[in-house]
Structure 1
Amino acid sequence: MGIDFTVFKGSKTGDIVEAKGHRDPGPSEVIVKISHCGVCGTDEHYRHADQGLGHEGVGIITEAGSSVHDVSEFRVGDRVGMSWFHKFCGYCQSCVSGSHQNQCINSTYFGTADWDQGCFGTAVAWDVSALFKIPDEIASEDAGPLMCGGATVWDPLYGAGVRPGSRVGVIGIGGLGHLAIQFASKMGMEVVVFSSSESKAQRAFEFGASEFHITSEVEKFGSIVKVDVLLITANTLPDLNLYLQVLAPGAKIFPLTVSMESLKLSPLSLIAGCFTVSGSGLAPVASIRAMLAFAAKHGIKPQIERFPMTHDGVTEAMQKLREGKMRYRGVLVAA
């Protein structure tokens, strides 16, 4: 049967373009009617590409491929979420290891395949290997930003051996940072927030921060108990030399901001402090499932601004994101 859909794409000029398409589900795919989609900073990176935008989709399964019932628990009527990855192969070493699907060498993902469709649209065809059931406790408008932004900040905390009582530094209170504060706080960690905006202090504490430190025009921090983990979630990369003084020996640094800039940190600094700088892409399947369950249990949700899933709505949301005025995640809502 398949489905005809509308999708909002990027273009060479950077303008948002409305397009039409049709998809029939493959054997292991389902058709998902999109109800909501988060607006992520990485969508901005593809604004000049002729491809469907959006990778934080939430919707209802309306049709299942011929093998879906044999290889998964998904059924028509399920409310599901989609993220950066479109499909995992299931047979490479990363997949069969059980916890590293995000390193699958045969995966397809946003920007590399399925350019005709995107979650900024009315429907998609999606492989069940990269699909997630949304817990009843999480509203669809809140689930979208969790699928990418939430998973991005969750996995370093969940997968890197950080324990309750650890001190976690978070640089930046934006789309990623405000979720990182909530997750770390609810996981029993002491959350130390660094921000250039003093006006965000109150919100940081409301999200669960234990401490708040201003970074603008600061050349050296005062007396701060050292942090065990540092998450960089600001939209620009900081000079890490400023933060060396607040890192505990053996601290782990996770640059989560998608940027082409170079990190400002000398090898000697790493050697002297036994620090580790770790890349952390979107979480693997088991981790995202755990993240959704944890968010449902502890009431973790993004602070969102809503926009209609229309040409004007997508354009406005992308513009507000580009200008750094979004507080803190935009969500497109279907009529």
Structure 2
Amino acid sequence: MGFESIQLRGSPSGKIVQKAFVHPGLDADEIAIKITHSGLCYTDVHYSTTDMVLGHEGVGIVQSIGSSVSSVKPGDRVGWGYSNKTCQRCDPCLRGEDNFCADKQFFGEADFDVGSLETITVRKEQWLFKVPEGMSSEDAAPLMCGGSTVWTPLINHVKPYHRVGIVGIGGLGHLAIQFASKMGADVVVFSASESKRAEALQLGANEFYATKGVADYTTLGITKPIDRLIISSSAKVDLSLFYPFLSKQAMVIPLSVGGGDLTVPYGPTVLNGMQVSGSIIASRFMQIKALDFAARNGIHVVVEKFPMTLEGANAALEKLKEGKMRYRAVLFKD
């Protein structure tokens, strides 16, 4: 038995189009889900010219399960992100770092007929996560991608005694502030917009520095060195501006994805033992822990809501392209 779905897909024009599709019957490890919410992030803009179902921050209700599925049952609320399947045999998988699997099936790379902007989807059990009781689906959907993107490097590299600089208050930055603050870190925010000061402090920042028009960041009056610098801004950042007040052996962690080169001051990097560490979405273990931590600590996503219709999806996509979203887009079914 197949599952009929109305899908919102990319097209060569960059506009989202609507198509009918029938998912085949379930394999033993597959689950059919009625989608209720989907985040939309800038990755969807990148793939908007590709004929594929968009959306990779999904939340929905389990409708049917394959014969070997044991972790969920019909009626459960589940979410998912970038990944649908990993090999479980390569070195990263065996280390529990399955987000770096050599044969992963990631959004945009495989399964072009599976996404979160559709009425029904079919997913592998392996990368589905139960949404914690008490967490809204509006919060859960963006936490499947944006939330896990900031959670992983914070858990891997930040201690409660660290001063953590966060560059940019947006889709990633406003979540990084909350996670880092709830972890006990001393959070320092850098933003081009002075108007975001109050919001940054409300989210959990201890210090805020407006950088627009500032050519020398040593004039900002930063009180103490920063141990970890999280780059969550989509704009290219001149890291040399931050180096004078980074601590010895500080780490710079870029999160947003873009073209071009990342450059750092060569001498200070070597002499001060600096590190630059890339990071991608969470492993399955980390995703489960991120959801649990967010639910227990009252971490919430600032969202703009759009109906999960053709018109709503295109409106959300255009606002993302224009850089005017505050801060994550969530599409929802009535």
Distance 1:86 1:268 in 2: 42
Distance 2:255 2:188 in 1: 17
In the alignment, which residue of structure 1 is the partner of 2:89? 91
Q: TM-score under structure 1 normalisation?
A: 0.96
Q: Does 1:43 align with 2:19?
A: no
Q: TM-score under structure 2 normalisation?
A: 0.96
- Shift of residue 90 of structure 1? 1.9
The count of corresponding residues between Structure 1 and Structure 2 is: 330
C-alpha deviations, 1:181-235, integer Å up to 9, x for none?
Answer: 0000000001100000111111101110111011111122233211111111011
In the alignment, which residue of structure 1 is the partner of 2:2? 2
1:135 to 126, 132, 144: 132
Distance 1:323 1:40 in 2: 13
Equivalent position SS for 2:228? strand
- Shift of residue 257 of structure 1? 0.7
In the alignment, which residue of structure 1 is the partner of 2:21? 21
- Shift of residue 272 of structure 1? 2.4
Equivalent position SS for 1:57? strand
Contact 1:14 1:47 in 2 (8 A): yes
Worse-superposed segment, 121-130 or 257-266:
257-266
Q: Does 1:202 align with 2:209?
A: no
Equivalent position SS for 1:270? helix
C-alpha deviations, 1:13-49, integer Å up to 9, x for none?
Answer: 1011111111122211101111000111111110111
Distance 1:281 1:43 in 2: 16
In the alignment, which residue of structure 2 is the partner of 1:329? 328
Contact 1:167 1:227 in 2 (8 A): yes
Equivalent position SS for 1:68? coil
Distance 1:2 1:273 in 2: 59
1:185-334 pair list within 5 angstroms:
185-221=181-217, 222=219, 223-224=221-222, 225-334=224-333
Gaps of 5+ in 1: none
- Shift of residue 165 of structure 1? 2.1
- Shift of residue 316 of structure 1? 0.4
Gaps of 5+ in 2: none
- Shift of residue 269 of structure 1? 3.0
- Shift of residue 146 of structure 1? 0.5
Distance 2:322 2:48 in 1: 14
Runs of 4 or more above 6 Å deviation: none
Q: Does 1:12 align with 2:8?
A: no
Distance 2:26 2:176 in 1: 35
